[in-house]
Homo-oligomer: A and B are copies of this chain.
């Protein structure tokens, strides 16, 4: 089927079916294949192809020629190369936590991977107030392994620099620099703030020069600190869950950046789920129970990260100077500081900026939504300004509780 070997075009369902049949050797010759485009993301086309006879299935993920999020962001299909390279690497470093990659095609800019249709997107499940008791364990194992094992603490420094080079990701980083670190902090046309929150944003965010200065420092930290190979977009929409398993998908934003960026995104998005349940669960007992589980999960993401990181450090450290007395504490404390700061940025940008989260936009009562937004913004600000003071999981959850009390 030479049309797939010639030059890139965006596939329709029929093309994907043809691709699966004639290019891949995954299905048997008598397979009864069915194909559906199931993408709801912004950057890619996702085809699910299933053999109705055997039940075997695959995902073909093809990078669109530009980001579907907006025509203003032009994103080259090379991101698909980064994604499949990262998935292969993460699969080695943290086995079982990412979908398996069967094939990467640099002409069609697509990768073929394990179908995770028996999983659900975590954000959706959290909005339905489901619990995943293994989540904190799983996500911290994934993050400790991927973040520590790709750093100068462990990697040969020359190999690490080649890895930095391989994962330089200008276009996707630009999206984060704009949408997370810049636009939410001024009255930008592309922002999308509801009327009920706007005045609060004008006073507490856009007019606070001291606070803005801190956000600029964080933007430069994001742009210049090549600490670890990040997932780069680790919100609950990039996580597939089922009762006994967690899979992290969509690492197309991956690059070498501050390790706290991934952890902070997880924490902030758990906080959105927490505020969703605060605003939408009517039954007080059920609300209390669900919030308790989320609270425990937030705490554990921080505390388990810290304990696993310390434990693993001792096993894997190769850099001589990293063994100096006190360096592990210093290094880890810096990651927790960055985690707090990024939690704050993500909390602010999902309320103010152009890319929202369902956890908040799904709160139908506009007054409850506005309250949730103000809690997120106030907490976000505190996470950023007081980032040096965060040490444990309890410190993180206490900020949220504080503003739930003071904001009506």
The answer to whether the Cβ of A182 comes within 8 Å of any Cβ in the partner chain is yes
The answer to whether the Cβ of A227 comes within 8 Å of any Cβ in the partner chain is yes
Cβ 8 A contact of A224, one of B171, B227, B324, B327: B227
CB <8 Å contact, A213 and B162: no
CB <8 Å contact, A324 and B157: no
Q: Give CA–CA (A307, B331) in the complex, Å.
A: 34
CB <8 Å contact, B223 and A224: no
- Please provide the chain A residues from 312 to 351 with a CB less than 8 Å away from any CB of chain B in the complex: 320-322, 324-327, 330-331
Q: Mark A196-230, 1 if CB is under 8 A from B, else 0.
A: 00000000000001001101110110011111000
Q: Give CA–CA (A212, B322) in the complex, Å.
A: 10
The answer to whether the Cβ of A170 comes within 8 Å of any Cβ in the partner chain is yes
The answer to whether the Cβ of A142 comes within 8 Å of any Cβ in the partner chain is no
CB distance from A347 to the nearest CB of B (A): 18
- How many of chain A's residues touch chain B, expressed as a range? 35 or more
A170-B158, A216-B324 are known contacts. Are A225 and B223 too (CB-CB below 8 A)?
no
CB <8 Å contact, A173 and B157: yes
A170-B162, A225-B225 are known contacts. Are A212 and B157 too (CB-CB below 8 A)?
no
CB <8 Å contact, B157 and A223: yes
Q: Which residues of B have CB within 8 Å of A325?
A: 209, 212-213
The answer to whether the Cβ of A47 comes within 8 Å of any Cβ in the partner chain is no
CB <8 Å contact, B182 and A152: no
- Please provide the chain A residues from 160 to 217 with a CB less than 8 Å away from any CB of chain B in the complex: 161-162, 164-165, 168-171, 173-174, 177, 181-182, 185-186, 209, 212-213, 215-217
CB distance from A176 to the nearest CB of B (A): 11
Q: Which residues of B have CB within 8 Å of A220?
A: 152, 331
A157-B174, A224-B225 are known contacts. Are A185 and B321 too (CB-CB below 8 A)?
yes
CB <8 Å contact, B152 and A161: no
CB <8 Å contact, A171 and B185: no
Q: Give CA–CA (A52, B115) in the complex, Å.
A: 75
CB <8 Å contact, B224 and A181: no
- Please provide the chain A residues from 222 to 258 with a CB less than 8 Å away from any CB of chain B in the complex: 223-227
CB <8 Å contact, A170 and B161: yes
CB <8 Å contact, A181 and B321: yes
CB <8 Å contact, B170 and A322: no
CB distance from A288 to the nearest CB of B (A): 41
CB distance from A155 to the nearest CB of B (A): 11
Q: Which residues of B have CB within 8 Å of A215?
A: 321, 324
Q: Which residues of A contact B (CB under 8 A)?
A: 152, 157-158, 161-162, 164-165, 168-171, 173-174, 177, 181-182, 185-186, 209, 212-213, 215-217, 219-220, 223-227, 320-322, 324-327, 330-331
24 A-B contact pairs sorted by A residue (CB < 8 Å): A152-B220, A152-B223, A152-B224, A157-B170, A157-B174, A157-B177, A157-B223, A158-B170, A161-B169, A161-B173, A164-B168, A165-B168, A182-B320, A186-B320, A212-B321, A213-B326, A215-B321, A216-B322, A216-B324, A216-B327, A219-B321, A224-B225, A224-B226, A225-B225
What are the 4 tightest A-B residue pairs by CB atom distance, in nearest-first order? Answer: A216-B321, A158-B170, A161-B170, A165-B168
